[in-house]
Structure 1
Amino acid sequence: MATAKVPLSDLISLVSDPCRVDPRGSYPNLGIYSFARGVFGKPPIDGAQTSATTLYRVRSGQFIYSRLFAFEGAYAIVPAEMDGVFVSNEYPTFEVDQDHLLPRYLYWLFQRRDVWRQVAVGAKGMGDRRQRVHPDKVLSYRIDLPSLGDQHRIVEKLDRVAALVDERRNAIEAAERETQALLLKAFQRAIDGAPLRPMAEVAPLVRREVEIEATREYTEIGVRSFYNGIFHRRTMPGSEFSWQSLFWVKEGDLVFSNLMAWEKAIAVAEAHDEGTVGNHRMLTCEVNPKLATPGFLMAYFRTYEGFSSIVGHSPGTIARNKTLSSKKLPTILVPTPPVETQKWFDRLRAKTQEAHAIRANTAQDVESLIPAMLHEIFNGGAKAA
């Protein structure tokens, strides 16, 4: 189906509905999410507090964008519930000629990353991706313009699939929440009445000092915040490490970043971490197999109670100075039910992780569906459903 390619200036027009700011007034305000995720309500602008002398009223169905963040997709259509709210002059607003262009069609067109890039750099390929995008660049952008009937069919198809994607995404998130709730309940059952023992007994801090050889290569680890695991920072010859102390990491170690433990930088070393090294900031605890399993202790430190014990043993009043003390860590008390109970919980947790991986893959497939459809529909000219 052949379509005419026309500049947006033939289809949308820059509009302005200025309103003089009254110091006694309060003005509902909106912002625009990056990556074409729509608009959001911001706190009202207090006329007595703002430095702006003029604000601009927007209306439902108008096309709007952020000059500063257009390069990363801050484009949207004003929804009905935001009709009449106000923005600054950093948000150019356009009326859409709905006799020729559906606002929802324009919305879907601007879901595409290649469109943001093309608009940001302009027709001649000039410009900085972080440079404010002038309305002239938007207006000069040329689009394929199918008939209104074809636009309706394209919009209906994309909206229908988007609703199914949302439904599936919500189902995946609900299943994940339910699984985590059941896992926490199982953990609480496992520790009910269990004796508390200090980390010094259950998983003592160990320092396996490395005798650094200048020509040998060593892989240094770090621990990501928010329980996101161990990462390999760098691999370098020993000559590059000669100024510091290094310590061997073994599979099964419970590893704490003493600088970032307050931000949940806690992890269990896996098989591929065996033989890596950590600096003095990495606190490695070797779990006593007669008393605990690494996975069970990690599960405890992911609970509110367990993480609170970490924060409580990290002196300091400012976040970045809340260092987990190597002297205090061994004194933290942890629950120690029978090891067989801990292994039962570990097996249960492994099953939930398998389910999580399946859901994550499904979610990735679901999220890739809309971009694939947009590519199919808009590349080389829009096509009817």
Structure 2
Amino acid sequence: MKILYVQHDMLVWASARQWSYTTHMAYVEGLRAAGHEVLVLFTSCWAWSRKLVGDHRFDQVWINDVTHVLGQRPAWEAPPPLTEVDFAWLATLAPVRVGIVMETLHYDPADYAEVPELGRRLPLMQRAVLPYVTHFGVVDENDVRHIENMGAQAMWTPCHVPRRFFRRSAPNTARPAVFIGSAYQRRAKYLHHERLKNGLLEFRASGEHATELPAMFDQLNNPVRQAMLEQPCRQADMERFVDTLQQVRAKLFDLFLDGLSDSLATVNLTSFVKTYAGRVVESMAIGQPVVSWRIPSHPQTARMFREDEHILFFENDDPDSLADTLERLKREPGLAERIGERCLANAKNHHTSEHRVAQILEWTRTGIAPRFWD
């Protein structure tokens, strides 16, 4: 098939790093691995989009991400948002339009109170995107029902990792578990908890900060991209830009995975998004055990991984419960290694980007949603 893939991106790594490679160009890897012809457009180069497409028509258009692409951010941080006019144009290019949603659409009242910005996304998406997208891939299983009630088709699409990043890294029970991510308000209690600070949990910075790669990302997205867009539109220039940026992002992702290794486990702390954060499957892809908060009211998410075989949990957003689970992981001989081996095998079977993209394509053809467990 011929597929047009539209990727929203940020212009500085300090902001772009919030979205992992697995929520970015991993989809393109999956599409190309299946032999599909893919034209990639970045929203940061949107001025060239219509010239690059020209008279071409496609079997499918994929847009990632259809909520953040609408957001208003400073010009130094992100390109201008896409508008309803842009989505109307994309709808003329293919009979099937797949919109990827990378965060929860419906939140709890406490979430809206803490971050009012969350309340803006759904109304914007309903107005500018919903009339023009035929299929939605959502990371929160409960949003499938919400989107179907709006009249569109939706499929739950858990995180995935391209096969080339899979590798075995044995857990180190002599080291603390790690968390790499934002220590925002609801997570602060874990950062300062006495039991966790005493050799059980480390809030670790990703290894990218010790390299020149973040500066390379910023250089590509600012002077290099700006100079390119000032020239006549050439597809070869765009392909070179996309390929270079993809390589930089892939190297940054490799460094992130390295930062998860040499530890007892990866900890998945509570979050606004009501699904497993990317770090869960990303850790499993390198054989690293995961200790996660138990996500309530999401029965399919609960079936993805079997407790004590693929994952361990802590309860009730409670630091002491997390400490108890980490102490058990240290104390029980061979437990960390067994979970690491089994979660790696499970991720290879169910959570590669190549497999996930094939599932999405099959769903757009048949309407039958896949399952993500044995």
Bin of the TM-score, shorter chain as denominator length: under 0.3
**TM-score, normalised relative to structure 1:** 0.22
Higher helix content, 1 or 2: 2
**TM-score, normalised relative to structure 2:** 0.23
